[in-house]
A and B are shown apart, each in its own frame.
Chain A
């Protein structure tokens, strides 16, 4: 089914169930779908697992979601930042579970989920504390760890422009996790700066093809007149 252009952010996150795994795009604030995360806060789903590169900055967006106490677990590569006080407080108080995943493995585990790969061997983190409990396999004289996919129930991402079918283009380094997360979740909600008519995007320039996208919300929509 092609994507649906939603009337607002709340419609884009409607139906999120308690216990859902939510993939949240962005690297720091670049590509962070702040308005969709705010909508998820209003929507009220609890007991969430959040997968994102960072664990919130300042008091808005992901940090505000964590502050509601509705997140059970965070899977991320870099929770500790100068402005990650919300997460830090929850973590030190033992009120949130943390799985630290090297950034490349985090991306590849979602890529695997989106590509139907059952698991894969990665050389990253061999011999480190993050290898604990993982199967080690030697292949051609090099050691690898067995890594499993990360599937999302919902992905919240930010792109620059969508057409009405759901084809996406991103802007500069705000692309980061968007294209990978778009493949890895059952429902994909995208916030964009603008929606254009189908056919207005150069097919050669489309980064995320429409097949991956379910719901679109635009800051502004070009008139269909």
Chain B
């Protein structure tokens, strides 16, 4: 595996910050957002004050607040990762059928999920490694994948063996078909879908190098990823 760019990779906090920025930029009047279990929950820490974003947790709550500590911990108030959380003014509670109806019904603007693999056309694999001894467990992953209006993935671009997780076809068991719209990684941000893969942003690596490492996937380089455009944004 090539390690030459590792030092410049974005941390998971940087990735979360980028997602938070895009959520705020693309939904300026506030949006309803579900953050998947694990790293996506970090996005909440980076949402700008006054973004108006309302967090949904699929175990039955809107306008979830930050993690609870000390006396604020209430066993009846947890998020989908079973972590104690808090409520914000305007919070609402509802049962499971309602929670997934608002998801499936297209009312949720954005969902951010982790992934084992994403395919060039946006297929998602994030629930099962396919290992025969693994106990299968899906939770709300499949509902979220096809329910939210926009599904964004947050992951490292390469696995521990150095293989790309952005792939022509997923080899892990699928969570959803053609559902992912955008992939945020340590080395770059991608749009995926019926038109294939487009590189939107790069980090610590040139666009050309990154595209080469992702072969055989064909990646179109967005005009905004030129050195000039990137310098102008800083």
- Which residues of A are at the interface with B, using a C-beta cutoff of 8 A? 27-31, 53, 77-81, 84, 87-88, 91-92, 98, 100-108, 110-111, 122-130, 170-180, 207
Contact = CB atoms under 8 A, between A and B. Distances in A.
Contacts of A130: 138, 142
A175 B95 CA distance: 6
Interface in B131-151: 133-143, 146-147
Nearest to A180: B97
B202 to A, nearest CB: 31
Nearest to B135: A80
Contact of A107 (B97, B146, B175): B97
Given A124-B147, A173-B60, A173-B76, A108 B93 contact: no
Contact of B176 (A101, A127, A179): A127
Contacts of A126: 146, 176-177
B137 A77 contact: yes
A63 B79 CA distance: 21
A98 B136 contact: yes
Interface string B112-155: 00000000000100001000011111111111001100000000
A100 B175 CA distance: 13
Contact of A129 (B79, B94, B96, B128): B128
Contacts of A178: 95
A96 to B, nearest CB: 11
A5 to B, nearest CB: 23
11 contacts: A27-B60, A28-B82, A98-B135, A100-B137, A103-B100, A103-B138, A103-B140, A104-B142, A106-B96, A177-B96, A207-B95
Given A29-B75, A176-B59, A127 B96 contact: no
B60 to A, nearest CB: 5
Interface string B84-116: 000100000111110111011000000000000
A207 B60 CA distance: 13
A31 B134 CA distance: 27
Of the four ranges (under 10, 10 to 19, 20 to 34, 35 or more), the interface on chain B belongs to 35 or more
Interface of B: 57-61, 74-79, 82, 87, 93-97, 99-101, 103-104, 123, 128, 133-143, 146-147, 173-177
Contact of B143 (A27, A102, A177): A102
A128 B95 contact: no
Nearest to A112: B97
Nearest to B83: A28
A170 B93 contact: yes
A163 to B, nearest CB: 19
Contacts of B99: 104, 107
Contacts of A102: 138-143
Contacts of A176: 59-60, 95-96
Given A77-B138, A87-B135, A124-B147, 10 more contacts: A98-B135, A102-B138, A103-B58, A104-B100, A104-B142, A104-B143, A129-B128, A130-B138, A172-B77, A179-B97
A104 B75 CA distance: 23
Given A79-B135, A129-B174, A124 B95 contact: no
Contacts of B82: 27-30
B136 A124 contact: no
Nearest to B178: A127
Contact of B96 (A78, A98, A107, A122): A107
Given A27-B59, A177-B95, A80 B136 contact: yes
Given A88-B135, A98-B136, A125 B60 contact: no
A28 B136 CA distance: 17
Contacts of A30: 59, 75-78, 82
Nearest to B174: A128
B45 to A, nearest CB: 21
Contact of B173 (A77, A129, A177): A129
Contacts of A77: 137-140
Nearest to A106: B96
Given A28-B78, A108-B100, A128-B176, A175 B140 contact: no
Contacts of A180: 95-97
Contacts of A79: 135-137
A51 B87 CA distance: 29
Nearest to A122: B104
